[in-house]
Structure 1
Amino acid sequence: MEQPVVIEEYNEKWPFEYQQEERKIKDALANKAIAIEHIGSTSVQGLGAKPIIDFMVGVRDLNEVEEFIEPLAKIGYEHVYHKEFPTRRFFRKGQRRAGTHHLHIYNYGSEEWKNNILFRDYLRTHPEVLKQYNQLKKELAEKYLNDRVAYTNAKNPFISDVIQKAKWSE
């Protein structure tokens, strides 16, 4: 069953949860991960979020991800195939549409990799934009309470705009 979209106030435990899980992921992937980053709203202090910890793992080649399926399964991550995202591999910990941790794997240094970091870091350093995004998320969560896909899609124009601003300010 689909969980409703609920935006919780920022929780100081999220970075700690990330660090604990990051160790397990590093162990499971051995030396295959070039970098692991905390992304998504739980990575931005003061930003409300769905209580899902997002990880981004950078690899040299997405074909390597086949080797990760079994080790990640042993620590509770299920591989979820998304044909609409050919440049990303995705793993979820927790139930479908109610995951507790999301693991996104990209080619290290790819456009998607850079955009995730640009967006996160821009929010971290621009309190006014963070406030706007927080407000938008709350409004969209009310509007799309039972439709996570619509909620996510409705955030995309704001996210794209922030990424463009971040690129211009580099």
Structure 2
Amino acid sequence: MTEEESLLAAINENVELHSYDSSWPKVFEAERERLMSLFQDVFIDIQHIGSTAIHGLTSKPIIDIIAGVESISIAERLALPLCESGYNTSAEFNESLSDRKWFMRWANGHRTHHLHLVVHGSKIWHERLKFRDKLRSNSECAARYTELKTKLAIMHSVDREAYTNAKEEFVVSILREA
């Protein structure tokens, strides 16, 4: 498979859930350290979010990372250097986002990391961490989320966007509870 074919495979990858992998926190930490060394004094904080950050949770095997920066303009200026350091992005998709910038790492036709650059301390920063922390501290909520994700992965196995959008109502309900 060529590099371009591998990237296209990662972009068009089906929704496939995996059992929790105890290496996920280590994979996050390695990427956090790499990003901090590449972009010293740019990131205010970098956190592991998403399902791979919740011990025991079934997940797509993609490490979700949120990195806090001072402003969206700083996030925009990081696009080229991040792409030169192993990430890819969609300029069109990023244009549609007002509160963050999105990047993806991939290998062998599979997504490995999603990086979300956001303004540190912003609403999205707090919401992503609040959702993660609620699932970490409440096994009942985590179990309900796993059940929903399993059902949605079957319903939307070839449509990642529909899968993500279908989880939104649950996420909002958890944020209201937290």
Query: What TM-score results when the alignment is normalised by the length of structure 2?
Result: 0.88
CA contact (8 A) 1:93 1:100 kept: yes
Alignment of 1:45 onto 2:55: yes
Residue identity matched to 2:151: E
Correspondence for 1:136: 148
CA-atom RMSD, angstroms?
Answer: 1.5
Number of residue pairs matched?
Answer: 165
**1:124-169 CA distance string (max 9 Å, x none):** 0000010000011001001111111111111000000001111xxx
Correspondence for 1:58: 68
CA contact (8 A) 1:80 1:92 kept: no
CA contact (8 A) 1:4 1:148 kept: yes
Q: Following the alignment from structure 1 to structure 2, what is the Cα–Cα distance between the partners of residues 88 and 139?
A: 28
Runs of 4+ in 1 over 4 A off after TM superposition: none
**1:78-137 CA distance string (max 9 Å, x none):** 233322211101111127x94211100111111100000000000000000100000110
Unaligned runs of 5+ in 1: none
Which shows bigger deviation, 7-16 or 75-84?
75-84
Q: Following the alignment from structure 1 to structure 2, what is the Cα–Cα distance between the partners of residues 6 and 98?
A: 11
Q: Secondary structure at the match of 1:57?
A: strand
Alignment of 1:120 onto 2:132: yes
CA contact (8 A) 2:76 2:101 kept: no
Unaligned runs of 5+ in 2: 1-8
Q: Secondary structure at the match of 1:10?
A: coil
